[in-house]
Structure 1
């Protein structure tokens, strides 16, 4: 594993609260991507959410990237294989987050860094979870009580 990649992962983990980035295990199901891109490292971005609502739920939305040995000269490849053990609801949320994510990274200049992709995943997965939470009677502090406002002491 590339030492610069490990350092980048450590740095992004210091910045993000809800998303954890780590090195994934080798997975035979990603062979097609490896054949397309060449050898590399699988990096997992896992958004960990606790929805606040009548039935508090703990969800983890994970996406995987294949980081080429040529990184950072080329962008990581998004691996879109779904985990096997998902409920229909979890699968729907994950697909919705992945859709937002793929749209969001199209706007980024190439090559895209692991940090940019992790931050984008954090934003997209967070938006999907917040929307789900609000629809089910929960939400965040801001959706329940309003947002912070600047008050001047005049």
Structure 2
């Protein structure tokens, strides 16, 4: 689909998409430094703003190289959010249940990988490819609002 939209080679498309895990790795490597300067809850909120902005702006990208901005933003959001959430979950678990809690956290991540394509298939059927990105941004914003509502549970 990207090749049809931007008339680009597989190599260039692969390089653009490879920027996501590269951005994740770089952002995740800086989480320790970031958490010393900013509260974890603030960083999680910022990560969901990164997700939402990246996804909302994809339908407006007219050049494949401009898509690199969105893929890097998405990777930064994921790279910041994932280690912090895992750290918060692990910190709240007792030592005897730590493995179970981390496994349940992983199960919920995998549940998202299952439900995501199903929900985005519905979004695609309703709104086309742009609808997929708008739905993803909507989910990111909804998650941000839910997190904001329940953040007091993290520090209880």
Which TM-score applies when normalising by structure 1? Answer: 0.32
Which TM-score applies when normalising by structure 2? Answer: 0.32
In terms of fraction of residues, the more strand-rich structure is: 1
